[in-house]
Amino acid sequence: MSATDSSLPSDGGRGLRSVIRLDGFRKLWIGQIFSQLADKFYIVLMVFLIAQYWVSSDPQSHGALAEIASAIRMDIETRAERITLLATGIYVANTLPAILLGMLAGVWADRWPKRRVMVISNAIRALLVLFAPFCLMPGPLFLGLSWGYWALLLMTFLESVLTQFFAPAEQAAIPLLVPSNQLLAANSLYQATSMAATIIGFALGQPILRLLNQTFLKIGLSGGEFLLLPFCYGMAAFSLSAIRLNETTQTQRSIGLGRELREGLQVLVKRATVRRAMRNLVLLYSLLAAMYVLAISLAGSIGSLGPTGFGTLLAMSGLGMAIGAVLTAQLGHQISRHHLGASGLAAITVCLALLGQLQGRLLVTLMLCTVLGIGAALVAIPAQTTIQEDTPETERGRVFGLQNNLINIALSLPLVLAGTLVSSIGLEPVLILLAALAGLAALLERPWKRC
């Protein structure tokens, strides 16, 4: 069944306003907003605590940091570099569960009621972050660093483990709440929300934390910054708890996790549409991850920006993705999915090639980054919609878990490889290589075919 009783009957509309009218999806969307904001605020809070309590006030840790930095050949002469080193540990702890547990968590998401998985994972995350203040208490050192820092790493790891259960359940719930003719608009809204949460979470996270801290200090209380995350995760759990999902209940299976994992992989083997969509998503996120690194060199070639202005280029790409999401929601149903994907990949190909040729020009670079973002939305949204539609309901959790696995690997490897390639062969050849990969993927979509 593709929609539940909680979804209002489709009125024939396919745009954003129509999909927001669906009661069940609206509650899921509100839960997504709070959950994604909390994920971004979490990283900001960890960096905030590292800067305030370990780098600033723990000179004993500097010797240990120097040893770690020497082992990985990193310079930590400045305070910012020391913060970056400790924050890297947070990033690794946050990424590992996504790489190691994604598909396994997806299997369990298939076995359990999806609403329960979403509510419980957010509720436990809300409780887990309440332990953050206790990590600031003085205590023994381990490997030259305060026990509290290692406790934060463990907490971050557990938070990410819970996220691996939440993500596939959330994605699998969308086609249960939204009629098939509105899935494209629903995924477009999710894409736009995700970009907005990233921008708002990282841009406003620290000011909000400082405001809460100062506000509570004025009334004689400390620790106001620790209330933001429980509030966001709690609101997500509250909104998701009001959803009614009419999903197929699975009987207890005795075939084992290994067999179920193989069944999830068989979906890719048997369904070419799902396989192509997954391929496009993995390639897209690999290209975007490479751009995170290449943006530093691109910004460095522009005198008015400099290397530290790379965030401006990424922000323009994010703006383009938001624009592309809105365009796809409003107009995408008039164009076939593979034509949308091919158009997006073609736009990315052209933009990457031109970025290499036109380095150093601010306005042109900003425009190309925006168009690249629009192309990314044209690839991601139809691909995600295809996976939701063409994956059997009982297999969706594990397929989305596999998707999370592959995407996180796709996000990780280019971060290492892109910088190395730029150092060895230069920025322009790397951009041309990426453009060639995107162009090949566009041809594999066979845009000359009508369907």
Q: What is the pLDDT of residue 63?
A: 54
> Which ranges in 112-182 belong to alpha helices (H)?
114-128, 147-177
83-92, 110-119, 333-342, 343-352: lowest mean pLDDT where?
83-92
Which of 258, 281, 253 shows the shortest CA–CA distance to 337? Answer: 281
What band does 33 get if pLDDT is binned at 50, 70 and 90? very high
Q: What is the pLDDT of residue 250?
A: 56
What band does 415 get if pLDDT is binned at 50, 70 and 90? low
Average pLDDT rounded to a whole number, residues 310-315? 75
Q: What is the pLDDT of residue 77?
A: 54
Residue whose entry in the numeric block shows the structure tokens 């059997």: 392
What span, in angstroms and rounded, lies between the C-alpha atoms of 312 and 92? 25
Q: What is the pLDDT of residue 327?
A: 86
What span, in angstroms and rounded, lies between the C-alpha atoms of 444 and 442? 5
Instruction: With beta carbons less than 8 A apart as the criterion, state whether 447 and 339 touch.
Output: yes
The contacts of residue 317 (CB under 8 Å, 6+ apart) are 288, 291, 369, 370, 372, 373, 376
The amino acid at residue 122 is: N
The contacts of residue 13 (CB under 8 Å, 6+ apart) are 182
What span, in angstroms and rounded, lies between the C-alpha atoms of 274 and 392? 11
Instruction: With beta carbons less than 8 A apart as the criterion, state whether 322 and 314 touch.
Output: no
Q: Report whether pLDDT(329) > 50.
A: yes
State the average pLDDT for the chain. 79
The class that CATH gives domain 1-180+190-245 is mainly alpha
226-252 pLDDT, tens digit each: 999 999 999 999 999 999 887 765 555
Instruction: With beta carbons less than 8 A apart as the criterion, state whether 351 and 375 touch.
Output: yes
Q: Are strands 145-146 and 141-142 parallel, antiparallel or unpaired?
A: antiparallel
Two domains, one topology: 1-180+190-245 and 265-451: yes
DSSP assignment, residue 262?
A: H
What span, in angstroms and rounded, lies between the C-alpha atoms of 187 and 168? 14
What band does 1 get if pLDDT is binned at 50, 70 and 90? very low
What span, in angstroms and rounded, lies between the C-alpha atoms of 422 and 294? 8
What band does 81 get if pLDDT is binned at 50, 70 and 90? low
246-290 pLDDT, tens digit each: 776 555 554 555 665 666 666 666 777 888 888 888 888 888 878
What span, in angstroms and rounded, lies between the C-alpha atoms of 40 and 203? 10
Q: What is the pLDDT of residue 79?
A: 59
Q: Torsion over CA of 253, 255, 256 and 257, rounded to 10 degrees? A: -80
Helix or strand or coil: residue 145? strand
DSSP assignment, residue 250?
A: P
Q: Report whether pLDDT(2) > 50.
A: no
Residue whose entry in the numeric block shows the structure tokens 């997504």: 32
What band does 13 get if pLDDT is binned at 50, 70 and 90? low
DSSP assignment, residue 137?
A: S
132-144 pLDDT, tens digit each: 999 888 878 777 6
CATH 1.10.150.20 fits 265-451, yes or no: no
DSSP assignment, residue 8?
A: P
362-411 pLDDT, tens digit each: 899 899 999 999 999 999 888 888 888 878 777 777 777 777 777 777 77
Give the count of alpha carbons within 13 A of 237, CB side only: 19
Element (H, E) at 298: helix 272-300
Average pLDDT rounded to a whole number, residues 319-344? 83
Average pLDDT rounded to a whole number, residues 163-190? 85
Q: Go through 320-346 and write b for each residue having 16 or more CB atoms within 10 A of its CB, e for each that does not.
A: bbbbbbbbbbbebbeeebbbbbbbbbb
What span, in angstroms and rounded, lies between the C-alpha atoms of 33 and 272? 32
Average pLDDT rounded to a whole number, residues 18-31? 91
CA geometry: angle 379, 387, 415, nearest 5 deg: 50
What span, in angstroms and rounded, lies between the C-alpha atoms of 315 and 122? 28
Q: Where are the domains of the chain?
A: 1-180+190-245, 265-451
DSSP assignment, residue 243?
A: -
Return the bridge partners of 145, or none: 142
Q: Report whether pLDDT(431) > 50.
A: yes
Q: Which two tokens stand for residue 404?
A: 């999370």
Q: What is the pLDDT of residue 155?
A: 95
CA geometry: angle 195, 201, 204, nearest 5 deg: 125
| Burial of 381 (C-beta count, 10 Å sphere; 0-12/13-18/19+) | buried
CA-to-CA separations, 103 to 39, 107, 127, 165, 264, in angstroms, rounded? 20, 6, 25, 9, 9
What span, in angstroms and rounded, lies between the C-alpha atoms of 5 and 11? 15
Average pLDDT rounded to a whole number, residues 214-223? 86
Instruction: With beta carbons less than 8 A apart as the criterion, state whether 168 and 109 touch.
Output: yes
Q: Report whether pLDDT(15) > 80.
A: no
Average pLDDT rounded to a whole number, residues 84-104? 78
Residue whose entry in the numeric block shows the structure tokens 């790409």: 317
Q: Kindly report the length of the chain.
A: 451
Helix or strand or coil: residue 286? helix
